Chains A and B, each alone.
Chain A
Amino acid sequence: MSRTAAWEDPSAELHWEDQAQPRKGFFTDTSICIGCKACEVACKEWNRNPTDGSFELLESSYDNTGALGANTWRHVAFVEQDRDRITAARESGRQLVSLGMPGVGPPESAPSAGGAAEPPDLLAALEGGEQMDLTPPDTDEFRWLMSSDVCKHCTHAGCLDVCPTGALFRTEFGTVVVQADVCNGCGTCVAGCPFGVIERRDDGTVHPKAEREGAQRVEQDIPHQGTANKCTLCYDRMVVGETPACAKTCPTTSIKYGDHEDMVETAEARVRELHDRGMTEARLYGANPDDGVGGIGSVFLLLDEPEVYGLPPDPRVATKDLPQMYAAAGLAAAGMLAGVAAAFLGSRR
């Protein structure tokens, strides 16, 4: 399967047949995220995930859940930056454009149509013919970046490729989902994910701080203990055409959900628009089918280098070259067989 074909329809070779659906995904536009964490809560609430925190400050600005994990499937990062860093981000983003990075095309005069996000959408609002102030903004002294991270639902998903039990599967929507009733908790997938997203859920008991003697423990159900867990893109909602919980709740449409193709198109239009406004720090993440995971299902618009948000700059799935490796292994095996046969034949001489 060609790279572009996999990017457009990673489920194609899995023969979902009449159940097949267009690839679905997120577009997380961090330029309009207000860091409210509604996505974290709506996700936990819908999926009945236990809390993750130790109920102590994590020493990371307003972030107290830390990272994606077995329980936290949406995670909002907070990054405080000064002027030098903003200038550098603006320059690196500008260079990405001039290098013609995919998804960051040269500025066009008119932004193209918005994606499939629910109307009235912020981008759709742009098309009302209102006059737009296109003066490039002054470079601020300071900024506070917020970004909601989520499972990438990779085109070449490391977790899926290494799962020995069939607990992980690629759905008819092209997303990657763990089946808790199949998973035996072996943890192979944890090592297989280049983003550090999937994690095994422990018994999840969370204790209030030790100094508060006699305080209540937080009583909570811990479903699926010991199994691997991560974002399902709300598979149970998608099967009836419902929007995933995080995207539905997002107050500013920073999290959009829809057909992957539309999401990528919307994301590209948004980057162009921001560049037109002088915000050249904007760039897409995961919208490149040639990257080490074949592009991702949940694309992001970032305002700085991925590392700043805790995202790997060049994610690479260990199994990316698996087909070639299989081919090579096949050849080798054939050679070996031939050798063995030759040996037998030889011995019969």
Chain B
Amino acid sequence: MARFTPLEWPVLRQFRTGDATGRGPSVTSERTRTMRPRTEDADRVAQSVCPYCAVGCGQLVYAKDDKVIQIEGDPDSPVSRGRLCPKGAASEQLVNSTGRQTTVLYRAPKAKDWQSLDLDTAMDMIADRFLEARRNHWEDVDEAGRPLNRTMGIASLGGATLDNEENYLIKKLFTAAGSVQIENQARI
């Protein structure tokens, strides 16, 4: 807060600045006079891509103290030239959504509600179940004796919203595990 000075009294400013009707600089508050866009506070600006449709609009993600403070179109992008649709423009609300669930939840068989679970335990449980399902539904050969080398006990759906690198690891791991029922939105 600036130190008080009588010269900043609105009435005095009104006459000092020549803004006789008191509708211009004489009535601006300290907050107004020092106003800057919050993007200037960012300690990091990452070039990114909109996560919604497949146009691939460029985004600039402004972050401060490891928190996203603003997302805007990237004017450098030859695809989008800095523009975003309502969904792209709402991306900041997407990433900072109050409706986001950021901890692991587990629902036991027949349970009426969720319970909390730590991440490591959940990963172990999933790995155990994965191997069990793989074993339970393993098929070495078909009825004609031709090789199948697969399991039909595990399926997955998703990928069109993930990264190429993620899809690659998913396909690689599932295929090596013998799982073939891998699908994504492209089929829907």
Chain A nearest CB, measured from B31 CB (Å): 5
Interface residue? A213 (CB, 8 A) = no
Cβ-defined contact, A38 with B88, below 8 A: yes
> Nearest Cβ distance between residue B1 and chain A, in whole angstroms?
11
With A15-B17, A166-B27, A216-B99 as contacts: A179 and B89 at CB distance below 8 Å: no
Q: In the complex, what distance in Å separates the CA atom of A172 from the CA atom of B40?
A: 21
Q: How far is the CA of A249 from the CA of B50 in the complex (A)?
A: 13
Work out how many contacts link A and B, with CB atoms closer than 8 A: 108
A337 to B184, CA, bound (A): 86
- The answer to whether A236 touches B36, judged by C-beta atoms less than 8 angstroms apart, is yes
Q: CA–CA, A239 to B32, complex, Å? A: 10
* Contact present for B24 and A240 (CB under 8 Å): no
B73 contacts partner chain A, Cβ-Cβ < 8 Å: yes
Could you say which residues of chain A place their CB within 8 Å of the CB of B88?
38, 249
Contacting residue for A36 out of B17, B28, B40, B86, CB 8 A = B86
- Residues in B whose Cβ lies below 8 Å from that of A220: 98
B125 at interface, CB cutoff 8 A: no
The size of the chain B interface, using a CB distance under 8 A, is 39
Once the chains are docked, how many angstroms separate the CA of A181 from the CA of B1?
Answer: 13
Contact of A251 with B18 in the complex, beta carbons under 8 Å: no
The interface residues of chain B lying within 8 Å CB-to-CB of A15 are: 17-19, 24-25
Q: Closest Cβ of chain A: how far from B24's Cβ, in Å?
A: 3
Contact B90 A41 (CB under 8 A): yes
Q: Does B83 contact A (CB under 8 A)?
A: yes
> In whole angstroms, how far apart are the Cα atoms of A17 and B84 in the complex?
37
Which residues of B83-99 are within 8 A (CB) of A?
Answer: 83-86, 88-90, 92-93, 98-99
Q: Is B145 an interface residue (CB 8 A)?
A: no
> Which B residue's beta carbon lies closest to that of A166?
B27
Query: Do the beta carbons of B83 and A181 come within 8 Å of each other?
Result: no
Nearest chain B CB to A332's CB is how many angstroms away? 20
Interface range, A side: 35 or more
Say how far B33's CB is from chain A's closest CB, in angstroms: 10
Q: Which of A42, A169, A237 contacts B89 (CB 8 A)?
A: A42
CA distance A16 to B90 in the complex (A): 36
Whether A169 pairs with B36 at a CB distance below 8 angstroms is no
Question: Does B175 belong to the interface (CB within 8 Å)?
Answer: no
A324: CB under 8 A from chain B?
Answer: no
Nearest chain B residue, comparing its CB with the CB of A242: B37
- Judged by a CB distance under 8 angstroms, whether B48 is at the interface is no
A16–B38 CA distance with the chains assembled, in angstroms = 24
A40 within 8 A of B: yes
A296 within 8 A of B: no
> Which residues of B sit under 8 angstroms from A46, Cβ to Cβ?
70
Given the contacts A237-B37, A240-B36, A242-B37, A38 and B89 also touching, CB distance less than 8 Å: yes
Q: Report A1-17 CB contacts with B as 1/0, cut-off 8 Å.
A: 00000000001011111
**CB-CB contacts below 8 Å: A131-178 with B:** 160-161, 166-170, 172, 177
Q: Which residues of B contact A118 (CB under 8 A)?
A: 75, 81-82
In the bound complex, do residue A38 and residue B86 qualify as a contact, i.e. CB atoms below 8 Å apart?
yes
Q: A15-B17, A38-B84 are in contact. Are A249 and B89 (CB under 8 A)?
A: yes
Q: Does B29 contact A (CB under 8 A)?
A: yes
Q: Which residue of B lies closest to A243 (CB)?
A: B82
How many Å lie between the Cα of A239 and that of B38 in the bound state?
A: 12
Looking at the assembled complex, report how far the CB atom of B36 sits from the nearest CB atom of chain A, in whole angstroms: 6
Contact assessment for B27 and A239 in the assembled complex, using a CB-CB cutoff below 8 Å: no
CB B29 to nearest CB in A, in angstroms, measures 5
Are A248 and B82 closer than 8 Å at their CB atoms?
Answer: yes
A250 on the B face (CB < 8 A):
yes
- Mind listing 28 A-B residue pairs with CB under 8 Å? A13-B20, A14-B18, A14-B23, A14-B24, A15-B19, A15-B25, A16-B24, A38-B83, A41-B90, A42-B89, A45-B70, A45-B89, A118-B75, A118-B82, A160-B23, A166-B10, A166-B22, A166-B27, A167-B27, A169-B27, A169-B32, A177-B32, A236-B37, A239-B36, A249-B85, A249-B88, A249-B89, A251-B84
B interface residues, Cβ below 8 angstroms from A: 10, 17-29, 31-32, 35-40, 70, 72-73, 75, 81-86, 88-90, 92-93, 98-99
List residues of chain A with CB under 8 Å of any chain B CB.
Answer: 11, 13-17, 19, 36-38, 40-42, 45-46, 118, 160-161, 166-170, 172, 177, 179, 181-182, 216, 219-220, 235-237, 239-240, 242, 245, 248-251
The 9 closest A-B pairs by CB, nearest first: A14-B24, A166-B27, A15-B18, A42-B89, A41-B89, A41-B86, A38-B86, A236-B35, A219-B98
Q: A14-B24, A19-B25 are in contact. List 7 more A-B contacts (CB 8 A).
A: A13-B21, A14-B23, A15-B25, A45-B93, A170-B24, A249-B72, A249-B83
